[in-house]
Chain A
Amino acid sequence: MGIEEFLNSQILNSLIFLSMLFGTLIYGFVNSIILALVALGFNLTFGISGVANFAYGALYILAGFLSWVLFNSVGLPYVFAAILSVLLTAIAGALMYRFILLRIRGMVLSEVIATFGIGLSILELFKYLGFIGFEYTLPVFIDYSIDIGQVTIDMQRIFIVIIGIALAVFLWFFTHYTKTGLRFRGIAQDERTALSLGINSDLVATLSVSFGAAYAAIAAIVILPLGTITVDHGYEVLINALAVCIVGGLGSTGGVVIASFLLGYAQTFTATYIESHWVMVVPLVAILAILVIKPSGLFGEQKELEERI
Chain B
Amino acid sequence: MLKKRKERIDRGIKVRSEDIFALCSWKEMLYLSTPRLLPIVGLLVLSFLLSLYWQKVLLSVSVIALLAISWDLLAQSGMVSLGQALFFGMGAYLAGIMNHYWGLSPFLTIPMATILGGIFCTVLLLPVLRLRGIYFAMVTLILPVMLVRVIEATKIFGGTEGISGLTPLPSRWLELYIIIVALLAAFFGFRRLMGSDFGLVLKGINDNDRSVMNAGINIYWFKAQALFIAGSVGAFAGAYMTHVYMFVGMPVFALDYSILPIAAAVVGGAGTFAGSMFGAFILVPLSEVLRGFGGLRIVLYGLFLVVFIVALPEGIFHYIQRKYHQFERWVEVEK
Contact = CB atoms under 8 A, between A and B. Distances in A.
A128 B294 contact: yes
B139 interface: yes
A278 B80 CA distance: 28
A103 B299 contact: no
Interface stretch (B34-42, B86-94, B99-107, B304-312): B304-312
A112 interface: yes
Interface string A270-309: 0000010110110011011001100100000000001111
A192 interface: no
A278 B150 CA distance: 8
A113 B262 contact: yes
B49 interface: no
Given A275-B153, A284-B145, A284-B149, A118 B295 contact: no
B209 interface: yes
Contacts of B5: none
A29 B128 CA distance: 32
Contacts of A308: 130-132, 135
28 contacts: A52-B134, A109-B80, A109-B137, A110-B309, A110-B313, A112-B82, A112-B137, A113-B309, A117-B305, A118-B306, A120-B299, A120-B301, A125-B296, A128-B295, A128-B296, A128-B299, A277-B153, A278-B153, A281-B149, A284-B145, A284-B149, A287-B138, A287-B142, A291-B131, A292-B139, A295-B135, A308-B135, A309-B132
Q: Classify the interface of chain A: helix, strand, loop or mixed.
A: helix
Closest 6 CB pairs of A and B: A121-B302, A128-B295, A277-B153, A120-B302, A117-B305, A284-B146
B135 A117 contact: no
Contacts of B263: 113
B53 to A, nearest CB: 24
Contact of A309 (B134, B146, B210): B210
Interface string B68-104: 0000000000001010000000000000000000000
A176 interface: no
A295 B127 CA distance: 12
A246 interface: yes
Interface string A91-104: 00000000010011
Interface string B270-307: 00000000000000000000000011101101110110
Interface of A: 52, 100, 103-104, 107-110, 112-114, 116-121, 124-125, 127-128, 239, 242, 246, 275, 277-278, 280-281, 284-285, 287-288, 291-292, 295, 306-309
A288 B305 CA distance: 28
B189 interface: no
A108 B153 contact: no
A307 B132 contact: yes
B139 A100 contact: no
Contact of B306 (A117, A125, A285, A288): A117
B44 interface: no
Given A112-B82, A128-B295, A309-B132, 12 more contacts: A103-B310, A113-B266, A113-B309, A120-B298, A124-B295, A124-B299, A128-B296, A242-B138, A284-B145, A288-B139, A307-B131, A308-B132
Given A281-B153, A291-B138, A308-B132, A117 B213 contact: no
A128 B298 CA distance: 9
